[in-house]
Amino acid sequence: MLVNRTATSNDEENNGEMVVTPWEVKGKVDYERLIKEFGTQPLTTQLLEYVESHTDKLHLQLERKIFFSHRDLDTVLNLYDRGIKFVLYTGRGPSGPVHIGHLVPWIFTLHIQQKFGTRLYFQLTDDEKYLISDNLDLKQTRKWSYENALDLIALGFKPEDTFIIYDSEDIDLLYDISLEVAKRITFSTARSSFGFQDSTNIGWVFWPAIQAAPCFIHKKLTGENVPALIPAAIDQDPYWRVTRDIAQKLGYYKPAQIHCRFLPGLGAGGKMSASHPETSIFTMDQPDVVKKKIWNAFTGGKGTAAEQRKEGAEPTICSIFQYYFFLFEEDNAKLAERERRCKAGEILCGECKKDITEKLNAFLQAHQQRREKAKDVIEQYHVKR
Ligand code: TYM
C-alpha cells in the first residue's frame, strides 16, 4: 500500500515500504504502481509522437522515459492546436541549496517553453518550508528563495516569459485564489491526500491551497483563461489531484501535469534529497567536494577489481550510471556502450567515477558562472503586476 503521511518517519518503522508524498520519498520507488495508485496516465508512444510533432525532435527526457506519466497532456496539446495556448507552472521549496535532481524538471520546462513559446510561472515557497520545518525561520527560507531563483535563471530562462513568485512577498497575488480553492477542499480530502495528522500545524493544513493558486494566476494577471501544464517529479502530484477536482467549479481549466522520475542520490537507493547532503550534488559544490562525494558513491560494482573484470557489474543499480542516463550522456550509442562495457567487466567503477566527476565539474563551473551573472538581472524575473 502507498503510504501517505506528513513527514518524519524513519526507515525502521518504514520497513522499506514505498512512501511518496510532496515531503517525503522513501523505499524503492515503483513508478508503474504510482501511475495506478495516483491515477495518472502513462506517456504512450502515440502521445510522445504527438509531442514530437510540435518539437522537431523528442527531448531526451521523453525519449528515455524520465518523464513517464501525465494528466491531460493530450488535452492541453489539443487545445494548443486549436489556438488556446497553455502556461507552464513549476516551483521550488527553498529549504536549502538546489541539487542537480531539481534541475531535471527545470531543464525540461525550459525545453517546452522554448518549443511552445509559453509563459512560465515559477513559485518559490518560502512559506511552505517555514511551516513544515522545525529548524528554518522565514528569514532563512526567503534567503534560499533568492539563491534558488539564481539557479533557475542560470539554466537560460528569459525574463520576458518567466515570472517568479516569491510566496511571502507576493501573497497579495495568491491570496484570493487560495481562499477560493481552500473553501472547496474539505479537511477529510486534504487529510487523505496529504496524510495530515492531529499534530500537523494548521498553517501546513491550509498551505496546499497556496501551491494550487499559480495554476490559475494567469487569468488574474492577463484576463486570459488558459490551462496550466506542470512539469515536476511525481512527488508533487497530490497537490494537483485536489486542485483538479475543484478547478472547473471555479471556472478554470483543470491543470495538466507531466511527471518525471527521481534522480537518485549517491547512496544505495533513494532519491537525491537536500536533507541528505552527503549523497547529493549541489549546484554550488566545488570540484574537490564533487570528487569526494562521487568517490564515495554507491555503484553496481563487485568487491574486487578481479571479480568485476570476470563477472561484470550492474549498471541498473548504479547511481553513477543514472547520472549519465539522466543528464550527462546525451549520445545514446555512447551510453549503450558504457552499459555494455560495465556489464562485461571491461570498465571499472573508478573510471566511470572519474569521467562523471569531470563532466559534473565542467557543468557546475559553467552553471556557477551563469548563476553569478543572474544576480544582475534577477529583478527582471519577479512576477509583474
Ligand atoms: P522541491 O523543492 O521539493 O522540488 C523542486 C522540484 O524538483 C523536483 N525534485 C526532483 N526531481 C528529480 N529528481 C529528484 N531527486 C528531485 N527532487 C525534487 C520536485 O518534484 C519539484 O518539481 N512544494 C514544492 C515547490 C513547488 C512546486 C510547485 C513544485 C511549488 N509549486 C509546482 C513543482 C510544481 C517543493 O517543495 O519542491
Question: Model confidence over 175-202: pLDDT tens digits?
Answer: 999 999 999 999 999 999 999 999 999 9
pLDDT over 70 for what percent of the chain? Answer: 96
Tell me: pLDDT of 4 over 80: no
Tell me: pLDDT of 275 over 80: yes
Centre of ligand 1 to C-alpha 337, Å, is: 32
pLDDT the model gives residue 240 = 97
Question: How many angstroms separate the CA atoms of 232 and 238, rounded?
Answer: 12
pLDDT the model gives residue 311 = 95
pLDDT the model gives residue 13 = 52
pLDDT the model gives residue 270 = 85
Protein residues with CB under 6 Å of any ligand 1 atom: 22, 89-93, 101-102, 104-105, 123, 125, 128, 211, 230, 232-233, 235-236, 260, 262-263, 271-272
Tell me: pLDDT of 2 over 50: no
CA dist 303 → 216, 247, 336 (Å): 54, 54, 24
pLDDT the model gives residue 224 = 97
pLDDT over 90 for what percent of the chain? Answer: 92
Mean pLDDT of the 305-331 span: 95
Record the pTM.
0.96
Centre of ligand 1 to C-alpha 305, Å, is: 38
pLDDT digits (tens, 9 = 90+) for 6-23: 434 444 456 678 999 999
Which residue out of 24, 64, 102 has the highest number of ligand 1 atoms within 8 Å of its CB and is therefore the one to mutate?
102
pLDDT digits (tens, 9 = 90+) for 141-185: 999 999 999 999 999 999 999 999 999 999 999 999 999 999 999
Centre of ligand 1 to C-alpha 141, Å, is: 15
pLDDT the model gives residue 14 = 60
Question: How many angstroms separate the CA atoms of 96 and 274, rounded?
Answer: 7
